[in-house]
């Protein structure tokens, strides 16, 4: 008999769909439509996964999850329902749910989500086992005070680390949080590294015990770590696109005489045999990894792997809420998030932020004559053209309908004009063909920059200026973009 799955739902269609997907895969399904017996059932801890309709149980889910955690249950809790905001998804995952599946994607994602949850569960069981073993050591080594003190210290560190990072969805400052949990009280590394990916962005966080590191040594270290990750996963990482985070933050990268590090001891951050990242440790001496330290760091790697998978899943779900389903670029919500953040950054560092608003000329006739599928094709192709023209630091978004926006951090008006001309040139050369029929696609653009804003004006006025210039450009066929100052 396979893993037992408990379904909590009063929606017969959902239950039948889940049974149809999961029973042929060997899962043993139980179903409850009410709450009366659920609390006692879930505490039996006989279920591999619990799937619940968030629309039915609401915030009761959080009480049940807390109950499972208090009883050290090994069941993974998965919620599904109508689409919810990114902040709500964040709260659901931070409370301890493994994942949230939108109802309209249930048939596509529930099986993979359950598999991921069960793999996550295996890692969690291993963590519980290690904690139990260390607790047993704590009970049996009462007479060996020095060893007991060390084990107590390690157990305290593991408990603090679990509490700090197990459900942490923001890995931006993961290494400082590991250090703050007390790693340096149980291990004295000369160097500690974490290589990980969030979305498509690779990051390398390094903690160095000295206050200085040689530039060439750092380059060699990065190459070595990237190469060793490739040997684990067969996944190539571009050194040029690898974001480096050094700790302490005031560490100096110098050209002084290089002091080589010994080769790091590597621990993969993996679940179900799939590498998600990599932990690297250079001990200060050969004794540093003896006396159970390797087993301790293996537990640390399991905790980090589980946390990293949660962070990656949250990032994926959040990206879904800010991505335009038709074009694959950011939607209006995503654009609003970026312009607010970039506007504040430009203001703080006294940098220029430019904005280009774009509208497709004569889009309605394309839809009317060739159909909405042809119109969708034009929007997808235009979005691809925009993506090809911008830098990695720039942001392209579908602002709504046939209107697009490009946000250009640290870009003056003249540089924005260069990009606009490149967009117009690429668009002119691009072949828009729908069912063997060539479509003539033209656009109008308006440009604004923060340099033009008056005191007290913000991103709203930046958008309004670009929109006003876009309108002027649409009335002037000979001038496809508008940059002149507005009164």
- Give mean pLDDT, residues 341-349: 91
Assign residue 7 a region (left: φ > 0; alpha: ψ between -120 and 50; beta: otherwise): beta
293 is in which domain, residue-wise?
A: 141-319
Judge whether 269 lies within some domain. Answer: yes
Q: What is the pLDDT of residue 260?
A: 66
Q: How far is CA 35 from the centre of its chain?
A: 34
Judge whether 418 lies within some domain. Answer: yes
Judge whether 478 lies within some domain. Answer: yes
* Same domain for 296 and 147: yes
- Give mean pLDDT, residues 19-45: 82
Is residue 344 within 8 Å of 336, Cβ to Cβ? no
Q: What is the pLDDT of residue 37?
A: 74
Q: What is the pLDDT of residues 118-167, one digit of tens each?
A: 887 777 667 767 777 777 766 665 556 666 667 787 888 888 888 878 77
The mean pLDDT of the chain is 84
For the cut 80, the answer to whether the pLDDT of residue 405 exceeds it is: yes
What are the beta bridge partners of residue 274?
A: 271
φ/ψ of 449, rounded to 5, equals -135, 160
* Same domain for 418 and 349: yes
The single residue listed with the structure tokens 């002091």 is 259
Confidence of residue 402 (pLDDT cuts 50, 70, 90): very high
Tokens standing for residue 354: 């430019």
For the cut 50, the answer to whether the pLDDT of residue 292 exceeds it is: yes
Judge whether 53 lies within some domain. Answer: yes
Q: What is the pLDDT of residue 48?
A: 86
Q: What is the pLDDT of residues 438-463, one digit of tens each?
A: 888 999 999 999 999 998 899 999 99
Judge whether 56 lies within some domain. Answer: yes
* Same domain for 345 and 302: no
* Same domain for 309 and 339: no
Assign residue 359 a region (left: φ > 0; alpha: ψ between -120 and 50; beta: otherwise): beta
Kindly report the CATH number assigned to the domain that includes residue 195: 3.30.450.40
Q: Supply the angle between the helices 372-389 and 363-370 in degrees, to the nearest 10.
A: 140
Q: What is the pLDDT of residue 210?
A: 80
Q: What is the pLDDT of residue 125?
A: 67
Q: What is the pLDDT of residues 244-264, one digit of tens each?
A: 888 887 778 877 766 666 778
For the cut 70, the answer to whether the pLDDT of residue 36 exceeds it is: no
- Give mean pLDDT, residues 166-193: 83
CA distance 317 to 87: 11
* Same domain for 303 and 168: yes
For the cut 50, the answer to whether the pLDDT of residue 484 exceeds it is: no
What are the beta bridge partners of residue 481?
A: 445
Judge whether 135 lies within some domain. Answer: no
- Picking from 319, 344, 361, the residue at the C-terminal end of a domain is 319
* Same domain for 261 and 153: yes
* Same domain for 201 and 93: no
Scanning 44-105, the segments in alpha helix (DSSP H) are 54-57, 60-70, 86-94
Q: Count the domains in the chain.
A: 3
Alpha-carbon torsion (162, 230, 286, 130), positive or negative: positive
* Range of 46-50, 51-55, 118-122, 151-155 with top mean pLDDT: 51-55
Kindly report the CATH number assigned to the domain that includes residue 419: 3.30.70.270
Residue predicted with more confidence, 388 or 96? 388
* Same domain for 189 and 94: no
* Same domain for 269 and 379: no
Judge whether 325 lies within some domain. Answer: no
Q: What is the pLDDT of residue 485?
A: 40
Residue predicted with more confidence, 25 or 316? 25
Report the candidate in 43, 99, 38 with the shortest Cα–Cα distance to residue 75: 43
Terminal alpha carbon distance of the chain: 76
* Same domain for 296 and 198: yes
Please provide the size of the chain in residues. Answer: 487
Q: What is the pLDDT of residue 486?
A: 36
- Residues contacting 415, CB < 8 A, separation 6+: 354, 408
Kindly report the CATH number assigned to the domain that includes residue 25: 3.40.50.2300
CA distance 107 to 101: 10
* Same domain for 351 and 311: no
Query: Considering the chain, what percentage of its residues have pLDDT values greater than 70?
Result: 90
- Picking from 295, 319, 343, the residue at the C-terminal end of a domain is 319
What are the beta bridge partners of residue 51?
A: 7, 78
For the cut 50, the answer to whether the pLDDT of residue 374 exceeds it is: yes
Q: What is the pLDDT of residue 59?
A: 84
Q: What is the pLDDT of residue 42?
A: 78
C-alpha distances in Å from residue 171, one per residue of 130, 166, 279, 324, 362 = 24, 11, 14, 25, 45
Judge whether 52 lies within some domain. Answer: yes
Confidence of residue 487 (pLDDT cuts 50, 70, 90): very low
Q: What is the pLDDT of residue 128?
A: 64
- Picking from 258, 291, 319, the residue at the C-terminal end of a domain is 319
* Same domain for 77 and 42: yes
- Give mean pLDDT, residues 180-186: 84
Q: What is the pLDDT of residues 63-72, one digit of tens each?
A: 888 888 788 7
Residue predicted with more confidence, 94 or 276? 276
Report the candidate in 480, 472, 413 with the shortest Cα–Cα distance to residue 444: 480
């Amino acid at each position: 008999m396979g893993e037992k799955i408990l379904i909590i739902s009063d929606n017969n269609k959902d239950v039948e769909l889940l049974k149809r997907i999961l029973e042929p895969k060997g899962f043993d399904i139980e179903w409850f439509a009410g709450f009366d017996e659920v609390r006692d059932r879930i505490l039996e801890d006989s279920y591999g996964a619990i799937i619940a309709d968030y629309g039915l149980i609401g915030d009761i889910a959080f009480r049940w999850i807390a109950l499972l955690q208090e009883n050290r249950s090994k069941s993974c809790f998965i919620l599904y329902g109508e689409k919810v905001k990114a902040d709500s998804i964040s709260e659901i995952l931070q409370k301890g749910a493994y994942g949230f599946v939108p109802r309209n994607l249930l048939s596509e994602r529930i099986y993979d989500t359950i598999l991921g949850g069960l793999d996550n569960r295996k890692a969690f069981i291993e963590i519980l086992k290690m904690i139990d073993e260390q607790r047993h050591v704590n009970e049996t080594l009462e007479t060996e005070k020095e060893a007991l003190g060390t084990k107590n210290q390690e157990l305290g560190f593991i408990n603090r680390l679990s509490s700090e990072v197990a459900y942490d969805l923001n890995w931006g400052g993961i290494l400082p949080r590991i250090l703050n949990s007390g790693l340096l009280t149980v291990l004295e590394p000369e160097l500690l590294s974490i290589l990980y990916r969030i979305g498509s962005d690779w990051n390398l966080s390094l903690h160095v015990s000295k206050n200085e590191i040689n530039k060439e040594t750092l380059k060699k270290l990065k190459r070595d770590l990237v190469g060793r990750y490739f040997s684990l996963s067969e996944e190539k990482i571009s050194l040029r696109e690898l974001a480096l985070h050094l700790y302490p933050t005031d560490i100096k990268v110098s050209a002084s005489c290089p002091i080589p590090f010994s080769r790091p001891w590597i621990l993969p951050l993996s679940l179900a045999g799939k590498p998600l990242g990599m932990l690297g440790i250079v001990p200060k001496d050969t004794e540093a990894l003896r006396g159970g330290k390797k087993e301790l760091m293996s537990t640390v790697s399991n905790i980090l792997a589980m946390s990293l998978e949660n962070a990656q899943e949250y990032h994926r779900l959040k990206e879904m809420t800010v991505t335009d389903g038709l074009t694959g670029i950011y939607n209006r919500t995503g654009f609003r998030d970026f312009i607010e953040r970039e506007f504040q950054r430009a203001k703080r560092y006294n940098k220029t932020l430019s904005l280009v608003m774009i509208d497709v000329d004569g889009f309605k006739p394309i839809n009317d004559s060739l159909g909405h599928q042809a119109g969708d094709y034009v929007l997808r192709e235009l979005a691809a053209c925009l993506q090809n023209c911008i830098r990695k630091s720039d942001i392209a978004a579908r602002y709504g309908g046939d209107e697009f926006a490009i946000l250009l951090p640290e870009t003056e008006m003249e540089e924005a004009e260069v990009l606009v001309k490149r967009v117009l040139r690429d668009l002119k050369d691009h072949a828009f063909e729908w069912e063997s029929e060539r479509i003539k696609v033209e656009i109008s653009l308006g440009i604004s920059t923060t340099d033009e804003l008056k005191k007290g004006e913000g991103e709203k006025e930046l958008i309004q200026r670009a929109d006003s210039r876009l309108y002027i450009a649409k009335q002037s066929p000979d001038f496809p973009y508008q940059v002149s100052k507005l009164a």
